[in-house]
Amino acid sequence: MGKNPVWSWYIIWYFFVGGVAAGAYVTAAFADFFGRKEDRQLAKVGFAIAFPLVLICSILLILDLGVPGRALNMFRLFNWSSPMSVGSWVLLGFGLVSLVSLILVLWDRRGAWRIRRVLAIPGALFGLFIASYTGVLLGATNRPIWAANNWIGPLFLVSALSTGVAALALFSARAKLTGFRQVHLFATGFEALLLVLFLQSLGAGATLFLTGSFAPLFWGGVVAAGLAIPFGFAFLPRGRAVEAVAAILVLAGGLALRYLVVTGGQT
């Protein structure tokens, strides 16, 4: 068993904010490619918020290392067997692509849309990686809860997409979100399934979340706020307030999930 790495709030917030950035960008890319005009309007928001969020991510990671210059050592080499190494490079790539996407949203001339769409292909691939690699990283350790667990990557991925859509919903003035809502509705169900598979894979270890000291946050945060209540809201008459409350609950649930999984492996 490895010692406790003491990954605390900087890392928890990074996992969460990185997921929101990636989730918003990826759904924006799909909306821009396949969606209708109002979907594409909202896609612009996704392209625009990704870069500032990635910037916050890098600040969080640098703060975690303590000595700022040391962050550059992540780019001395490329190590395939280290999700952290691959993740550092992809985060750099995602940051650069999302910066250009942001510029192309601000500089919205004829033709910008075409470049933005082409750029969204590598951007979405990077985004899907950023959304999930943090979970794979935890699996490649020798800590309880995390070790050899292959469900955390998919779980974080799907949660990232649903928190990404939630962030977009907060920014949309009107609630013409049908495509996004469908993605989110499916993600909620898929996340619930992955959560069950994750807990099942933990065996007796799952009691930490189900009945142990983490249970209130698990049931209240991840299950109720993140999944059940927003799912129920989907059947309420649509309105700006309902939309916003659901989005905030989904974001809170996503943060609770990161907190529980990251802290769970360190108790």
Q: Which residues contact other proteins by CB under 8 A? A: 1-7, 26-27, 30-31, 33-37, 39-40, 64-67, 70-71, 73-74, 76-77, 79-85, 88, 113, 128, 132-133, 135-137, 139-143, 146-154, 157-158, 161, 178-180, 182-183, 186-187, 190, 194, 265
How far apart are the C-alpha atoms of 243 and 180, rounded to whole Å? 12
How far apart are the C-alpha atoms of 51 and 266, rounded to whole Å? 31
Report the nearest approach of other proteins to the CB of residue 70 (Å).
Answer: 4
CB 259 within 8 A of CB 9: no
**Among residues 53 and 177, whose Cβ is nearest to other proteins?**
177
Report the nearest approach of other proteins to the CB of residue 192 (Å).
Answer: 14
CB 84 within 8 A of CB 43: no
**Among residues 40 and 55, whose Cβ is nearest to other proteins?**
40
CB under 8 Å to 265, separation ≥6 — which residues? 138, 141, 143, 144, 145, 146
CB 31 within 8 A of CB 179: yes
Task: Estimate the crossing angle of helix 152-171 against helix 240-264, to 10 degrees.
Answer: 150
Q: Which residues of 188-221 are buried (b: 16+ CB within 10 A; e: fewer)?
A: bebbbebbeebbeebeebbebbeeeebeebbeeb
Q: Helices (H) and strands (E) in the chain — how many of each? A: 10, 0
- In 3D space, the residue among 116, 118, 52, 54 whose CA is nearest the CA of residue 87 turns out to be 54
**Could you please report the per-residue DSSP string of 87-99?**
HHHHHHHHHHHHH
Torsion of CA 190, 157, 265, 208, to 10 degrees: -20
End-to-end C-alpha distance for the chain, whole angstroms: 13
**Among residues 193 and 210, whose Cβ is nearest to other proteins?**
193
**Among residues 181 and 220, whose Cβ is nearest to other proteins?**
181
